[in-house]
Structure 1
């Protein structure tokens, strides 16, 4: 854990795999997780509408097993957002949101 899901406008200024690598490495660098458990993937969208002046978006969902402190979640959010800001200019809408997964109902094999 975690599952890092990058939703983005399909017309990225860098290859999608490169974005995944940057975000995966940034997640590792927080030292909040066992690196062997981090899973990062991306979904591109061709249809979307944004506020005037924005040409695209990147939104990261970080799905975490419940139990992380607010400070830890803020560290993850800040780290990932700063990574996005280093890649994308102000014409892009950038956001990050950690979500708690309840261990009582989360299942995996």
Structure 2
């Protein structure tokens, strides 16, 4: 954790390969200083079938799932930095967004904890 999951229309992968995109998302997440680099996880889900505002229009949405404890300002800055990077990487993609969700520390469990 944290997890950065990019949902996108499949056509955006025509501009850059998935490895490049994943590395850029990882880089922005790491540069915020909010996470240990070795904990950052990034995935891409590309969709061929989708609608955006009842149109088939290119989109990118990053879902960030992070451990609670960051301020609203830190999370907002993370979103701004990520959307800024994606906008420069994909200038012709009209729909680019991100949201941040917190994990509850009390309910989180991973393999190392059992």
Q: Is TM more than 0.5 here?
A: yes
Residue 10 in structure 1 maps to residue 43 in structure 2: no
1:96 Cα deviation after fit? 0.5
SS at match of 1:11: helix
TM-score (norm 1): 0.91
CA positional deviation for 1:48: 0.4
CA separation in 1, counterparts of 2:40 and 2:93? 29
After TM superposition, where is structure 1 displaced by more than 6 Å over at least 4 residues in a row? none
Count of residues paired in the alignment? 109
The aligned counterpart of 2:85 is 83
Residue ranges of structure 1 left out of the alignment (5+ in a row): none
More helix by share: 2
Q: What is the CA distance between 1:55 and its match in structure 2?
A: 3.0
Offset at residue 92 of structure 1 (A): 2.6
1:54 to partner: Cα distance: 6.9
Find out whether 1:43 has 2:45 as its counterpart.
yes
TM-score of the two chains, using structure 2 as the length reference? 0.87
Alignment of 1:50-89 (within 5 A): 50-51=52-53, 55-89=57-91
Gaps of 5+ in 2: none
Q: Using a 3 Å threshold, how does the CA distance of structure 1 residues 90 and 54 change in structure 2: closer, same or farther?
A: farther
What secondary structure is seen at the aligned counterpart in 1 of 2:11? coil
